[in-house]
A and B are shown apart, each in its own frame.
Chain A
């Protein structure tokens, strides 16, 4: 137990594992400590009921950076993504709903049922958004520049970022300003007229935030979702083979192949700090492990307030970190089903269900769901993003049976009964979701073999996500780039020397991207911190 490591990484989420892989690849001795019995954090696959494997939390992949796959040989270690082709929006009253496909003409026909104009503008819109996202990509693949610094390196980085925007040209620059300031619903109004089409499009702007589609600033989050790329193709989402835990497993295998050591069931209670310097970690059982540096893959709140502790922080930093917004707003309900949940019997085949299924019949529907959340209730009729990955990946369920993952918003962490009472409300919350689905799949009750309800409280207690925020902190403008998590410490550093961060609470933010882990490791190596 007395070996001294170059680096200890607290938390075996995918970012922590990637961080470990990069450091180990550079020849450093690395130890990853994960509290749970499984690796992956929010990107995890677990066989919750015999034969049924759930992507318990995150469920689709698209933002993962392709260069990380190349640099860490992840494909060799099992990284495999199956692209999704369709995006289906069932509608009430027996309508056949709206399905958007990879095939542009087919989507055009589907949208034309609601608005001919929109059907044609749709392509123009995607083009521009993809273009904007491509430029934004240059921003997310580098550490955020420090705007307050006069260090030439920082200025060069700022300049590079400025250039990206300059190259947009006046029209796109204007568009960019709109994106940064408008609400996602208002932004979409600039293009589209159909409330039906705008429904599923607008919700991309609120995922993981405690905001509504009409709240300013949400347009930017919309763009975040256009940044996805699979195999170099922009804006496509996919399923990780074997669930999203497959991504984490590949990262862990890569880290091990470079010599990293990974332990599960190890609860870290705090970072050992001597004279303002991190020197290792203290485990919950009292053991101590020494290292030259420590990397925390936990959210900013936990890293600062638990791992470091207020005693070791200045009051200014403490109050700033306390202002960092978490405000979890979503939950998950995962179903084990005895058969296919058919969301539209009027459609032929099941292809339309092999992508995501969005329960959001129109824009008002989400805004109403938000109204309830504002006053501390979960939405009775929430926005639900559903996938049935077993239709694509049969390894997830016994033959003929299926797993159905439901991402649900809004489920506010701060429920009016008090967050700690979420466990008592879990069943009611599960019922609200199941009843909402029943409006489209009348036989759902008879298909359900098991149901796993993951409330925001569970996300905090089981996954270590403070206040159940799925991105380790809201993805709102004021908490992005050089302000993520707080200004002055946006470059994976903390006020404690030799203590670094790597999770989605750092730039560029949440989602299965790998960027936090990668950029943090590269910064550590660049600075020759070890």
Chain B
């Protein structure tokens, strides 16, 4: 049975839908209402509040912490400045991705790492003689994500941090009324947003302060279902859905490299040795097997298929996570890849998906065929290959310098 996060007394009050999911062994609200569109729209139009406590969280300290993380992670973590955060992934020695997450530098010798999977044992294996301590703080630190255009204004009302100057992927300490916490300008929605980290004891103080401050800004509780729509629009891949950790995969076909996941930009190849470097160098030279792409699925094609049955077109409610075949541009029986998750994008009014396809078909603009089920019949519609990132509003990164 999953356990409750420290925010549970509040989230359960809001969860009229009684719809809970198991996320990393915690109860996480799937959606707070039967109709969950509004939870999604909060991310794009006001602010959605998500309990993200179940993320696995580690504190890495010690004189060799920078060296240690830089050896394990494909990005050169030693370059991270004080209070800076970065998104990254880590691989095994075959260059196969184990997990992705965020690293924040809270001190000269102190880092904070979040991960989707339990990672303590993996990291610990490589400490050896280094001066590094890894502490699993998953169960002692909790977190809320406040995401959406009004999130900055809400936080400004409830704490002392200088949010106008806090840049995308930077962090700051903050004080509220009787509690201290940390803010990182990070998130999983591809929008303006923040993640708030606090010790368990003060969970409810933080929650109440944010909630009260948000009342005039149309704050809403948002569940995992809404988050899924937003993260697909933002092109953010998910461990266990769009790819599988090489620690859990049984055959090479189930594993992915950073390049294959579209995370090549997180790899700093030319530097001191790091885990997977040799394999990644070879891949860079010889090419990848697959690419992760975004698919813009042709809507008129779908409309027409439904039309033949005298029906209006329909799509799944919310995001989906099953594997759907993607076929060759000309030969609709030759499979060249598969979509791993997708959604009707409420903001773009497009039917979109994240897909893994053979490298030869990954060029943006390539037209492929995508399988759909129309009135119990398997058909295909056209889809255009593009970057996975479908939605990237300017406010995500913008700084408000001359306000106030």
> What A residues does B1 contact at CB under 8 A?
103, 106
Residue A117 is within 8 A (CB to CB) of chain B in the complex: yes
Q: Are A108 and B247 in contact (CB under 8 A)?
A: no
Within 8 A of B (CB), among A81-135: 103-106, 108-109, 116-121, 123-124, 127-128, 131
**Does B36 touch A at the CB level, under 8 Å?**
no
**Cβ B121 vs Cβ A116 within 8 A:** yes
Contacts of B136 in A (CB 8 A): 116
Confirm or deny: A169 has a beta carbon within 8 angstroms of a beta carbon on chain B.
yes
SS class, residues of chain A in contact with chain B: helix
> Contact at A120–B25, with CB atoms within 8 Å?
no
- Chain A residues with CB under 8 A of B2: 103, 105-106
Task: Provide the bound-state CA to CA distance between A124 and B249, in Å.
Answer: 9
Q: Contact at A127–B248, with CB atoms within 8 Å?
A: yes
A105-B2, A127-B248 given; A120·B22 CB < 8 A: no
* A443 CB, nearest partner CB in chain B, Å: 28
Question: Are A124 and B248 touching (Cβ within 8 A)?
Answer: yes
Q: Which residues of B contact A127 (CB under 8 A)?
A: 248, 250
B118: which of A103, A108, A131 is its contact (CB, 8 Å)? Answer: A108
A117 and B124 form a contact (CB under 8 A): yes
Is B179 an interface position by the 8 A CB rule? no
**A116 to chain B: which residues have CB within 8 Å?**
120-121, 124, 136
* Contact yes or no, A120 B248, CB < 8 A: no
Known: A127-B248, A131-B250. A120 touches B24 (CB 8 A): no
Per the bound structure, the CA–CA distance linking A92 and B171 in Å amounts to: 47
Q: Are B118 and A120 in contact (CB under 8 A)?
A: yes
Q: How many residues of B contact A (CB 8 A)?
A: 19
A169 to B136, CA, bound (A): 34
Which partner residue on chain A sits nearest B24 by CB separation? A105
- Chain A minimum-CB-distance residue to B136: A116
**A121 contacts which chain B residues (CB < 8 A)?**
121
Name A191's closest neighbour in chain B (CB-CB): B121
Q: What is the distance, in angstroms, from A425's C-beta to the closest C-beta of chain B?
A: 44
Question: A128–B251 Cα gap in the complex (Å)?
Answer: 11
**Most chain B CB within a 10 A radius of its CB, from A105, A116, A128:** A105
Q: Check B25–A106 contact: CB distance below 8 A.
A: yes
B325-362 CB mask vs A (1 if < 8 Å, else 0) is: 00000000000000000000000000000000000000
B126 at interface by CB-CB < 8 Å: no
B268 contacts chain A at the CB level, 8 A cutoff: no
Let me know if B248 and A105 touch, CB within 8 A: no
CA distance A103 to B25 in the complex (A): 8
- Cβ contacts B1-29/A at 8 Å (1 or 0 each): 11100000000000000000010111000
Residues of A within 8 A of B124 (CB): 116-117
A350 to chain B, nearest CB (A): 15
Interface centre among B118, B250, B251 (most CB of A within 10 A): B118
Chain B residues contacting A117 (CB-CB under 8 Å) are 120-121, 124
Q: Mark B236-249, 1 if CB is under 8 A from A, else 0.
A: 00000000000110
B119 at the interface (CB under 8 A from A): yes
Asked whether, in the complex, the Cβ of A108 is within 8 Å of the Cβ of B248, the reply is: no
A120 B251 Cβ-Cβ under 8 A: no
State A127–B249 Cα separation when bound (angstroms): 9
Which residues of B are found within 8 Å of A169, using beta-carbon distances? 251-252
Can you show 20 pairs from A to B with CB atoms below 8 A apart? A103-B1, A103-B22, A103-B25, A105-B22, A105-B25, A105-B26, A106-B1, A106-B2, A108-B25, A116-B120, A116-B121, A116-B124, A116-B136, A117-B120, A117-B121, A119-B118, A120-B121, A127-B250, A128-B250, A169-B251
Give the 7 A-B CB pairs with smallest separation, nearest first.
Answer: A105-B25, A120-B121, A117-B121, A120-B118, A131-B250, A121-B121, A116-B120
Query: CB within 8 Å of B: which residues of A?
Result: 103-106, 108-109, 116-121, 123-124, 127-128, 131, 169
Interface residues of B (CB under 8 A from A): 1-3, 22, 24-26, 118-122, 124, 136, 247-248, 250-252
Apart from the given pairs A106-B2, A106-B25, A108-B118, 16 other A-B contacts in the complex at a CB distance below 8 Å: A103-B1, A103-B2, A105-B22, A105-B24, A105-B25, A105-B26, A108-B25, A109-B3, A109-B25, A116-B124, A119-B118, A119-B121, A120-B121, A120-B122, A169-B251, A169-B252
